[in-house]
Amino acid sequence: MTLERRIARVFNLTDDNWMKHANPWSVWTRYSVLPLIVFAFWSRLWIGWWCLIPAGAALLWVFLNPIVFNRPKSTKNWASKAVLGERVYLNRDIVEIPVIHDTPLYKILNTISFTGVMIATWAIIYYSIWGAVLGVALAYLGKSWYLDRMVWLYEMMKSRDAEYQKWDY
């Protein structure tokens, strides 16, 4: 079982929920989470422990976001293809992916994104605006590049597997 499949289980990404998560609204609003978390914890300076309420709401949004939207009317857009590509990638132990996609680049991009999150965390602790901006930007750079590679993977794989073809509408 791939690590990505384990993570998908934590987020309750069943077949139906994967398609809900492929809604562009799900993808684009998910980009709001990191800045909301940074701002929520940063607000402890002004509102003290009450900052846990917006922080908790932002963290709750992480788990609810993939399942609250309807299935997209079409999956012929970048955001939907990115999510479907992630699903293809997590299935790589079942359906073989092209060698060009069996690369350390994905781990590197996720490491860049994770490093950004760690810098943003440091910035929250030390109230560094530049650290927060750098951390969020780095996290989004790594994640967005990773998602773009997932679009490419999905485009390659949708014609090679009948199940993947069904997702293209």
What the block records as the tokens of 42 is 């940063």
Residue 86 has pLDDT above 80, yes or no: yes
Confidence of residue 5 (pLDDT cuts 50, 70, 90): confident
pLDDT in tens, 90-105: 999 899 999 999 889 9
Closest of 89, 90, 144 to residue 116, by C-alpha? 144
DSSP 69: S
**Domain assignment of residue 157, given as a range:** 3-166
- Check residue 75 and give its pLDDT: 97
Confidence of residue 12 (pLDDT cuts 50, 70, 90): confident
User: Are the C-beta atoms of residues 54 and 104 closer than 8 Å to each other?
Assistant: no
> How far is residue 74's CA from residue 68's CA, in Å, rounded to a whole number?
17
pTM above 0.85, yes or no: yes
> How far is residue 15's CA from residue 169's CA, in Å, rounded to a whole number?
16
What average pLDDT does the segment 142-160 reach?
A: 96
> How far is residue 119's CA from residue 13's CA, in Å, rounded to a whole number?
29
Residue 1 has pLDDT above 90, yes or no: no
Confidence of residue 6 (pLDDT cuts 50, 70, 90): confident
Domain count, the chain: 1
- Give the distance from CA 121 to its chain's centroid: 18
- Check residue 81 and give its pLDDT: 98
pLDDT above 90 as % of the chain: 83
Residue 152 has pLDDT above 80, yes or no: yes
Residue 109 has pLDDT above 90, yes or no: yes
What is the average pLDDT score of the chain? 94
Q: Which residue has better confidence, 75 or 15? A: 75
